[in-house]
Each structure stands twice: as structure tokens, then as C-alpha cells.
Amino acid sequence: MDKLRAIRVCREVARQGGFAAAGRALKISTPSVSRIVSELEADLGLRLFQRSTRQLNLTEEGESYLGQVNALVDELETISAEMRERRTEAKGHLRISSVVAFGQERVAPAVPKFLSRHPEVTVDLHIGNRKVDLIQEHFDLAIRIGGDAGLSESGLVARKIYAQKLIFAASPDYIADMGEPETLDAIARHRTVKQVSETWGVTHTILIGEERVEFRMPDTFVVNSPNAALNAVRDGLVIGLIADYLVSDMIKRGELRRVLPDHETPDQPIFAVFVHRAYMPAKLRAFLDHLVSVLGNRPDV
């Protein structure tokens, strides 16, 4: 027996003053109303209605029971209405995890505009390269780069929001002092910074036109932070293989120069990963759409 449905049926019987009227209001048959009421009475072990051929009234026990459960049912219906509203209107708290550089340079700057459009949403952005457990740690969304984005984890789905590539960059001062390499082999004769995160970054596939070459950046200076690598390049002391979104504006302003401009890595997809749900909350759907919109124009370098 669906006890909540039975309570609602009994409430309607009491309001309408009869089984037939309650059935019409609820769009169910009179025998169904009678059966549901009888099942609830049997479950409770008491009679809720005093029946006669001419009228139907609540018993003393029925008045007491419905009086107590009415408030609970009303509260439940209020909560259910609020949850349905959250599926259609962006409300509530978003907990997001993002890899460091992309989180700092692209995700964080996108949040204020999102909040201005959706004032009833709050955002908690955690920036770090640790792979969080979305379910156990109660994250709504994680921004991850490349690979399967963690989709081997049960119950997760991903949406591609961006594609980065790595390009060689150096400062004009470095090129003026040390010259500009014209081939990959020449890179080894220069001071370089190499970004490595666990197994990522040890070697890279470099596209030269349609040719693919496996390339290992010299180990002159190795860091595990893209921003640290970028700072070393900006200081004019090294050449770096840096994500395009980090250096595109600096190259346009002339603060950095692209080295070996016909050499770059293949696109590396960046995914928004979230827990699969039959009904995605409006706050999450709105934020995903906002990210795709904001990040849609990749830098031209």
C-alpha cells in the first residue's frame, strides 16, 4: 500500500464528504477510493469514517489522525514543489572542483558573471589537481583534462567544454639574448622549463603539419605547476611549452613570442564531469551552459 497516496485520498474524502465526490476530484473510481480507505483503516487498526446510506463523517479517531498527518503532508508537498522548482529555476549551492591552471585562468573568471545572471545560486570552487570523488565528497562538478576524464568511475558522465593545445613560447628578451630555435632538436641547446604532473608532461606528441613527432622537453628546469612554468617564461630566462589559453593574450600584446609557430600539440580536451542523474538540477545545467558559452572562443595564437 502506498500510504502517502492513501492519506491523500482520505483527506479528499473528508473534504468532499463522500467517496464518489473524492473519486471525481482525484480522477479515480469510487470503488478504488473505497478500497484505499479500507486498506489504510486495516493498516491502522481503526475506523476513520463513520458510513451510513445518507452520509459519511470522520470518526473521532479519524479526525485525530488526519489532523496530525495533514501538517506533515502539507510540508512534504511544499518540499516537493521546491525541488521541482529547482529543476526548472537555478537555485541552491554548487560545489565545483577544477584543475589548477584552467580553474584559475578560465573557470574562476567565469563565475561572477554566472552569479549575476543567477542570483539565487552560490558557488564553492575548489582549485587543485587532486582527483576528487564527486559522490563521496559531494561535488556537483569537476573540471578535468584529457584521458577518459575519470569516466571509468561508475555513474559519471562528461561534457566537453574546451580543447587546449600546448605551444612553445619565450619572451622577446630571451630571444634577443639567446636567439630563436628553428627546429625541435635546437630546443635542447636552450634553457627550458618543463611542466610535469605525475606521468603527464614527460613526453609530448608534437604536430608539424601532418607529421607527428614524439618530443621530450629537456629536464633543465622541471616544475609541477603551469603557472610556475609560465612565470619562468615571462621572466625572460627560459623557453616553455605552455597551454595556449595561458599565453594567447600575452603573445597578442607582444609580451611573449611564439617559438616554432608551426609546432604544437594535438588538442587536449577539457571536460566537465558530473554524476549522471535522470533529472539534472537547473543550477548545474545553467552553469554548464554558461561555461560552454564563455569558453567557446578558443584563443587565436
Write the pLDDT tens digit of every residue in 107-166: 999 999 999 999 999 999 999 888 898 988 999 999 998 765 556 566 788 888 999 999
Contact in structure between 92 and 83 (CB atoms under 8 Å): no
Residue 300 included in any domain: no
Residue-wise pLDDT for 70-106, tens only, equals 777 777 776 766 666 555 678 889 999 999 889 999 9
Q: Are residues 159 and 281 in the same domain?
A: yes
Q: Are residues 117 and 76 in the same domain?
A: no
Q: Are residues 172 and 103 in the same domain?
A: no
* Residue 259 φ/ψ, nearest 5 degrees: -100, 140
Q: Are residues 159 and 170 in the same domain?
A: no
pTM: predicted TM-score of the whole model, two decimal places: 0.67
Q: Are residues 216 and 252 in the same domain?
A: yes
CA distance 28 to 36: 11
* Three-state secondary structure call for residue 85: helix
Q: Kindly state the cell numbers that stand for 279.
A: 533529472
Q: Are residues 192 and 246 in the same domain?
A: yes
| Those residues with Cβ within 8 angstroms of residue 52's Cβ, 6 or more apart along the chain or in another chain | none
Q: Are residues 283 and 241 in the same domain?
A: no
CA distance 175 to 181: 9
CA distance 7 to 14: 11
Provide the domain count of the chain.
3
Residue 147 included in any domain: yes
Percent of the chain with pLDDT over 70: 91
Q: Are residues 48 and 102 in the same domain?
A: no
Residue-wise pLDDT for 23-60, tens only, equals 998 899 999 998 999 998 898 898 988 887 777 888 88
The parent domain of residue 31 ranges over 3-84
Give the pLDDT band (50/70/90) at residue 301. low
Give the CATH number for residue 7: 1.10.10.10
Q: Are residues 280 and 249 in the same domain?
A: no
CA distance 277 to 280: 6
Q: Are residues 207 and 232 in the same domain?
A: yes
